[in-house]
Structure 1
Amino acid sequence: MPNLSSDRAGIFTDDSGGQWVWDGSELRDGTGQTLAIVRADVIVTSGQRLLVEHSSGPMYFRVRATTDDGHVYRVTQPGMTVSRLIGDCAGRRYRLNRTSVFRKERAVETADGKVAAYVRPLLTGDVEVRDGPHPDALPLLDAVFLTWACVLVDAPVRRTLI
């Protein structure tokens, strides 16, 4: 398994290029540093693990994850479509809304309306994560989980390794 750096937050550091990419089940920053890996429904990042449960159907989408110390992270669909999603990361609330009805790009917005990041699936199957105007409003673990949820709901092609 690659070395997962605990002191770097990728998108939130000056040398990361302001961009992350989910390439299959690996999240890398702009320098190529691996920030997170998903294996067998477990996200590993910065020495932390999240056990992920995912379910979806024609009218619902849900992702739930539990940390090693019992904190619960969720992304749910409050309406009939997945254009709006609600995130809750151990009590910190987020909105993951599409930026346009014509695109799958999402803005990751904190409860007080600060846009921390934009998440956009690419035709290659990769998912790009870019800085928003307030990137430091989003802790690393929250960012990894929320962007993985966006991969699960929006990516046209996923190459998840088990």
Structure 2
Amino acid sequence: MSSEARPVGPWTWEGNELFDAHRSRIATVRSDVIFFNSERLLVESEPGPFQFRARATTGDGKVFTLVQSRMTVSTLLADCDGRRYTLQRSSVWRKARHIIDADGDIVARVRPLISGRVEFHAGPAVADLPLVDAVFLSWGCVLVDSPVRRPRI
């Protein structure tokens, strides 16, 4: 269980910045590095036509991965320093996803918007989702699901 204070939700990725409901910045991405509190996650991603993969590494060597599990990106599998998640589209008609922990509990919902923004909403078991995992997983959803490409800065 995470004991960190949680920013007020819902959160929204706008371009390369993640904001809480009060428009306070939670995280930012610059030159493929996620800056979040004192954390720095170097992100490598392969948005190839047949396989999506993203990997982030912290300064102290913790590894976070997000990979496509089937022919389509409807199901993504994540491992955040040993904590496992499934990111499952909630409908075949939409890009919205449920983030489900290893116990089968919904910890969050992620919803890309046509504008390019991506919303992150707490699920019933959000208390079990460490903030660093939430930031990485939501950024992974931006990479794979956002209809608007982010500029590389």
How does the TM-score come out when normalised to structure 2? Answer: 0.95
User: What is the alpha-carbon distance in structure 2 between the residues aligned to residue 48 and residue 8 of structure 1?
Assistant: 15
In structure 1, the partner of 2:6 is 9
1:158 Cα deviation from its structure 2 partner: 3.0
Selected match of 1:28 from 7, 10, 19: 19
Moved more, 60-69 or 131-140: 131-140
After TM superposition, give the deviation of residue 161 of structure 1 in Å.
4.6
Q: Which of 44, 66, 87 is residue 96 of structure 1 equivalent to? A: 87
Cα deviation, 1:66-88, whole Å, max 9, x if unaligned, reads: 00100100000111000000000
Equivalence for 1:110: 101
Change (3 A) 1:29 1:97: same
Does the 8 A contact of 1:126 with 1:158 survive in 2?
Answer: no
Alignment pair present for 1:52 and 2:43: yes
Question: Is 1:65 the counterpart of 2:56 in the alignment?
Answer: yes
Task: Determine the structure 2 residue equivalent to 1:40.
Answer: 31
- Work out which of the residue numbers 110, 118, 123 in structure 2 matches 1:127: 118
> Is 1:157 aligned to 2:113, yes or no?
no
Residue number in structure 2 paired with 1:3: none
Give the AA of the match of 1:125: G
Report the Cα distance in structure 2 between the residues aligned to 1:33 and 1:57, rounded to whole angstroms: 33
Q: CA deviation at 1:134?
A: 1.2
Alpha-carbon distance, 1:46 to partner: 1.1
Structure 1 stretches lacking a partner, 5+ long: 1-6, 11-15
Match of 1:4 in 2: none
Distance 1:77 1:83 in 2: 8
Distance in 1 between residues matched to 2:114 and 2:70, nearest whole Å:
26
TM norm structure 1: 0.89
Count of aligned positions? 150
Alignment partner, residue 136 of structure 2: 145
Superposition deviation, residue 123 in structure 1: 1.0
Deviation >4 Å, runs of 4+: none
Unaligned 5+ residue runs, structure 2? none
Aligned equivalents of 2:151, 2:88: Cα separation in 1? 24
Paired-residue identity, %: 53
| AA at the equivalent of 1:154 | D
